[in-house]
Structure 1
Amino acid sequence: MSTPVERIQADVKAAMKAREAERLATLRMLLTAIKNEQIARGAELDEESFLAVVKRSIKQRRDAADQYRKGGREELAAKEEREAEILEAYLPAQAGEDEIRRAVEDFVAAEGLSGPKAMGPVMKAMMARFGASADGAVISRIARQVLNP
């Protein structure tokens, strides 16, 4: 089985052959971010670090899209959103909100937690359970809703 970086490199080749300029540029930026992280660490990235780089790149694009919308530049915001969608293909399947809500509710009930002070233990347990398959912001929002009805 190929590594995630090898998969991205193969996708870069495919994008070149298909003349998909936007996809090609996005994947090259991702490879650069991965390479920079490897240089900073002084070692190859493990799966967790790779996913962190991809998530960070997606977050940067979503933030840029929000800023472009605030500035009235809808065409640039749409471009950033398309780039984020391209990058999301390299993340594992995301857990649904219903699944996250059930897990949070079960954990809160089992531990007898309530109130805002319980956010720490709930977030720690849910991030350990879902890892890269769920967005921390979604888990946080659902945990707040469950703990503060």
Structure 2
Amino acid sequence: MTTKITRAGWWRTGRVSPRLVCLGAVLGAVGALAHLGSYAWGQQINAYALVWGLYFLILEVIVLAILGLVVAGVVISARFLVTEAASRMTRAVVTGFSALMSSGILAYAFSSLFPPLTNPGAIAAVTGLLVGGAFAIVSYGHTSQP
């Protein structure tokens, strides 16, 4: 029998950049599900709508995952502005703020265009707060911050 060796706190050590990239892609996919679910809420369900809904779901998951990767790229780029001697809290604030701003701008643009929703500003604010908070928590949770 082989035994699995686990280290306590394994997610807190190592490079944070790959985890931020994965977080961006996952949050983009979750955002696609939320967007399509809110758009389809209260709509008539039939076979035609289901087929087109699945088609747009796949397309939207891909597009929003790419937008999530863009947010992660902005966050990783913004982290280069912070010195290595900075505290974990400072790094988390910079990470969270850059994720808040970039995801808010992209959410505003996306919700204004595909399809136009009633209040893209509110959607951008909520998206920015949730995404910024998630990125800040992941950044703060790392003890080593390369």
Q: TM-score with structure 2 length normalisation?
A: 0.37
Relative CO higher for 1 or 2, CA cutoff 8 Å, sep ≥ 6?
A: 2
Structure with the higher fraction of residues in helix conformation: 1
Q: TM-score with structure 1 length normalisation?
A: 0.36
